[in-house]
Every structure is written in C-alpha cells, then in structure tokens.
Amino acid sequence: MLLGSSTNRIDDKGRIVMPAKFRASIGDTVVCTVGSDHSLAVYPMDEWQPYYQKINSLPSTKEALAVKRKLLKDAEELSIDAQGRILLTAALRKHADLTGAAAVVINGVGDHLEIWNSEKWAAYSDENLDNFDENFEEVAAKYGL
C-alpha cells in the first residue's frame, strides 16, 4: 500500500529518486504514464497489470479510444537504478511540467504513486483540498465510506 507524501527534485537528466519509504512496495520496475491534472501515475508492476486490463477492455467509443491511446502511448516501463532513481521520458516530463531541476511532490494514493510539479500540486491543493470536508461528506454518502 502506497501512502504518504514526499518532496524531491528531478535532476537535469530527468531522473527522480523514489523515496525509500515507497521503494519496498514498488519493486525494481514500475510503469509510469500520464495522470490527471498534469501529474504522472507510477504503478508497481503488480498494480499495473489489472489497470492495464481495464484500459485494454475499454469500448471503442471516441472518448474511450482517446483515453486508451494517451495512457498507453505515453506509458513507459522504468527500472529503478542502484541509487533508487527512475528516468522519466521527455513526453512524461512535458505532461507534468517537470523541466530543469524542478521540485516535485510524490504522493502515495493507495495502489500507485503520483508525481507532481510542486507548484502545480500547491495550486491543486489550494483549489481542491480546502473543500475536503464537503467533498468527503459527498463521497462518503455516495460510496459508503
């Protein structure tokens, strides 16, 4: 289970050190793809497989094909090196606005990690997480949390 948050930096070569607290749970190889709100989604291989099956079974509607194409086109299988780093492709860095030595936030969200440009995470947090009580009540009522 991937829980918690960590801050880090991406280096000039596009590498990010995965926090030690997440490394045991994610293994030696992950799949990274685009996420919502200009974040990246990093899946351990055992979590990627069922997610991939869901993506692959989407219907052939215009919207579903667009989602499928984007998620799979930009997906990369990445090895974690001896220093605990992953090397992000240019396309993934562009999607998440991770340029130069950008500060990043890495959030555990249960089955995967999200990587955010720290400024975009701060803006998202200000806009969305300030309404947590209201959102929680609505989600709890709808989904039985």
Tell me which of 3.30.70.270, 3.40.1550.20, 2.40.110.10, 3.40.50.410 is the CATH number of domain 2-117: 3.40.1550.20
Element (H, E) at 2: strand 2-9
- What is the b/e burial string over 1-28, where b = at least 16 CB atoms within 10 angstroms of the residue's CB? ebeeebebebeeebebbbbeebeeebee
- Mean pLDDT confidence for 31-52: 96
Q: E strands of 35-71, at which residues?
A: 40-44
Q: Which amino acid is at 114?
A: E
- Mean pLDDT confidence for 53-65: 94
pLDDT tens string 85-123:
999 999 999 999 998 888 999 999 999 999 999 999 999
pLDDT tens string 114-123:
999 999 999 9
pLDDT the model gives residue 133: 86
